[in-house]
Amino acid sequence: MVTRMLHGLDLTDSQQFNEESIYSLNRFAAWDIAKRTLAGPFICLFGMLITVPLTSILDDATVFTFALITLLSLSALFRVSIFHSLKKVRDADLEKWKRITSLAILSTSGIWGIYLAVNFYLYQLTIATMVILVFTVAIAAGVAISIFIWKKLAQLCVVVIFLPAYIVLAFQWSGTALSIILGMNVYLVFLYIQIIRSNKEYWGALCSNKLLESNAKELEEARYLAEEANRAKSEFLSSMSHELRTPLNSIMGFTQIMATDPDDPPSKEHLQSLNYIYDGGKHLLELIDQVLDLAKIESGKMDLKLQKVSLSNVLNECHTFIEILAKENNIALNFEDTKYTVWADHMRLKQVLLNLISNGIKYNISGGILNVTYQDFPDTIKISISDTGQGIPETHQHLIFSSFNRLGHEKSKIQGTGVGLTISKSLIEAMDGQIGFLSEQDKGSTFWVELPKA
C-alpha cells in the first residue's frame, strides 16, 4: 500500500483521497496563501516609512536605508506578479511556483529582520528602536497568521525576522538586552505553538471539506470541521491581541510620562517626537481593534443586540465625538434634526456612522461642509452623509469596500487602515440593512445607510 501524507495527515486509509484530490487541496492552499501574503511586503514598507523618521538612519546609513526600501518595493511588485501568475501555472509546475513563492516570502522577512538589527546596532536600546521592535512583533504575528498553512515556512520566517536582532543584542550584552532576548524567545515559542495548532486545524478542515463532496452523510460533522480554520484564525488573533497590546500600552504610557515630566520637561523637538510615537502606538491599537472586529465578523462571532434605536440620540453622540476633529480640519457640520427610529444595534450603528462621518471630515477640503440628512421610505430609513471633498475616482470605486485598501491615500498624512468601510458594510448587512455611496471626482461623495424602521 502506498502511503499518502498531506502536511502531517495520513490519508493512506481514506479511499476518498487519491493523488488528484491531494493535488487539488495543495493548489487550493497555494491560492489561499498567495492571497493571505499579498499585503506582507506593503505592510513592511509602510512600517519602514513610518519608523525611519524616528531615528537618524537616513543620515547615518542613507544608501543602506534606500536599498532596503527599494528591495521591499521590488518584493511587493514581485509578490503581486507571483499572485497573478498562479492562475497560469501548469500542474507540473506547481512545486516550482511554491519554491519561488517561499523564497519571496522569506526575503521580505529577512529584509525587515536586517532593518531591526541595524537599528539596534546603530542606536542600541532607545525609544525609537523599541517602537521598531513593536512593529516587528506585529509583523511576526502577521507572518504567523498568514503563512501557517505552510508550517515550516512560517516557522522559518519568524526566526529570520528576529535572528539578526539576536546576534546584535548578543554583542551588546547587557541586562536590558538579555531581557529582550528572553522576551523574544518566549514570543517565538508562543508563535511556534500557534503555527503548529493552526496548521493542523487548517489542513484537517480542508480535508474535511473535500470529504463533503464524496460523503453526504457526514455533512454536518464535516461542515463543523471546515469552520475550524476560520475559528483558529480568530482565536489566534484574539490571543495575539493581548501580546500586542501589552508592549504597545507600555510604550504609550512611557511616552506620556516623559512628555509630562515636571522635573525634566522635554524640549520642543523631543516633545514632538514623543507625540509622534504616541500617535503611532494609538494608530496600531486602532488597527488591532479593527482587525479583531473583522475576524469576529468573518467567523460569525459578532453578537448584535437589535433593538429600537433613536437616530437623534445616536447622531448626537457622534457629534460629540467628532466635533473636535471637524474643528481641526475646518469643516462645518450640518446634522439635520430627526425623530426617526430604526431597528439596529445601538453601539454598532454608532461605530458605522462615526466611521462614515470621520471619513467625510478627513477626506474633505479645508473650509468644506459635511451634511447628514434622512429619507423616509415605507419600510426603511435612509441616512446620508455628504461631503464636499475631492470625491473618489471611478477607477477606484469598485474597491471601496475591500479590506486594507486606502485607494491611493497610503502615503498621505490622513490616518487610516483601509478596514473601516469593510467592517461597516458587514455590520449594516448583519442588521438587515444596506450601505452604498455616490461619488463624483472634485465634487464630493455621499455615503448612505438604509435600515429597517422600528
User: Is the model's pLDDT at 52 over the cut of 70?
Assistant: yes
Q: How confident is the model at residue 421 (pLDDT cuts 50, 70, 90)?
A: confident
- Looking from the CA of 105 toward its CB, the CA atoms found within 13 Å total 33
Query: How much of the chain, in percent, has pLDDT values that exceed 70?
Result: 80
Measuring CA to CA, how many Å separate 380 from each of 312, 324, 383? 16, 31, 10
The amino acid present at 316, given as its one-letter code, is N
Look-up of cell digits 456612522: 353
Measuring CA to CA, how many Å separate 107 from each of 64, 73, 118, 156? 16, 12, 16, 11
Q: φ and ψ at 12, to 5 degrees?
A: -60, -45
Write down the pLDDT at residue 86.
81
User: Is the model's pLDDT at 188 over the cut of 50?
Assistant: yes
| All cell numbers assigned to 272 | 514632538
The DSSP-derived string for 107-173 is HHHHHHHHHHHHHHHHH-S-HHHHHHHHHHHHHHHHHHHHHTTSHHHHHHHHHHHHHHHHHHHHHT-
Q: Name the residue among 113, 119, 116 with its Cα closest to residue 57.
A: 119
Report the 10 Å Cβ neighbour count for 38. 17
Write down the pLDDT at residue 12.
46
> Tens digits of per-residue pLDDT, 300-352?
667 788 999 999 999 998 888 888 889 989 999 999 988 999 999 988 898 89
Q: How confident is the model at residue 1 (pLDDT cuts 50, 70, 90)?
A: very low
Q: What is the spatial distance between Cα 206 and Cα 226, in angstroms, rounded to a whole number?
A: 6
Q: How confident is the model at residue 262 (pLDDT cuts 50, 70, 90)?
A: confident
Write down the pLDDT at residue 16.
53
Q: How confident is the model at residue 2 (pLDDT cuts 50, 70, 90)?
A: very low
Q: Average pLDDT in the 355-374 region?
A: 91
Q: What is the spatial distance between Cα 228 and Cα 238, in angstroms, rounded to a whole number?
A: 15
Report the 10 Å Cβ neighbour count for 152. 12
- Note whether 431 and 348 are within 8 A (CB): yes
Q: How confident is the model at residue 404 (pLDDT cuts 50, 70, 90)?
A: low
Q: Name the residue among 115, 190, 119 with its Cα closest to residue 158.
A: 190
Q: Name the residue among 150, 152, 149, 155 with its Cα closest to residue 205.
A: 149
Q: Which domains does the chain have, with CATH numbers?
A: 5-299 (no CATH), 307-452 (3.30.565.10)
Q: What's the CA angle centered on 275, arms 274 and 276, to 5 degrees?
A: 90
Q: How confident is the model at residue 363 (pLDDT cuts 50, 70, 90)?
A: confident
Q: Name the residue among 128, 160, 146 with its Cα closest to residue 38.
A: 146
Q: Which residues contact 91 (CB under 8 A, 6 or more apart)?
A: 23
Q: How confident is the model at residue 403 (pLDDT cuts 50, 70, 90)?
A: low
* Eight-state DSSP code of residue 265: P
Helices and strands: H and E segment counts in the chain: 15, 9
User: Is the model's pLDDT at 174 over the cut of 70?
Assistant: yes
Q: What's the CA angle centered on 43, arms 289 and 412, to 5 degrees?
A: 85
- Looking from the CA of 227 toward its CB, the CA atoms found within 13 Å total 11
Q: Which residues contact 426 (CB under 8 A, 6 or more apart)?
A: 294, 297, 302
Q: How confident is the model at residue 376 (pLDDT cuts 50, 70, 90)?
A: very high
Q: 280 or 217: whose pLDDT is higher?
A: 280
- Looking from the CA of 165 toward its CB, the CA atoms found within 13 Å total 31
Q: How confident is the model at residue 416 (pLDDT cuts 50, 70, 90)?
A: low
| All cell numbers assigned to 233 | 484564525
Q: Average pLDDT in the 171-187 region?
A: 84
Q: 371 or 131: whose pLDDT is higher?
A: 371
Q: What is the mean pLDDT of the chain?
A: 81
Measuring CA to CA, how many Å separate 438 from each of 24, 358, 384, 422? 41, 17, 10, 17
Q: What is the spatial distance between Cα 221 and Cα 369, in angstroms, rounded to a whole number?
A: 54
- Note whether 167 and 184 are within 8 A (CB): no
Stated pTM of the model: 0.45
| All cell numbers assigned to 271 | 516633545
Q: What is the spatial distance between Cα 187 and Cα 235, in angstroms, rounded to a whole number?
A: 17
Q: What is the spatial distance between Cα 45 and Cα 48, in angstroms, rounded to a whole number?
A: 5
> Tens digits of per-residue pLDDT, 68-127?
999 989 988 888 888 888 878 887 788 888 888 889 889 999 999 999 999 888 888 888
Q: What is the spatial distance between Cα 345 and Cα 342, in angstroms, rounded to a whole number?
A: 9
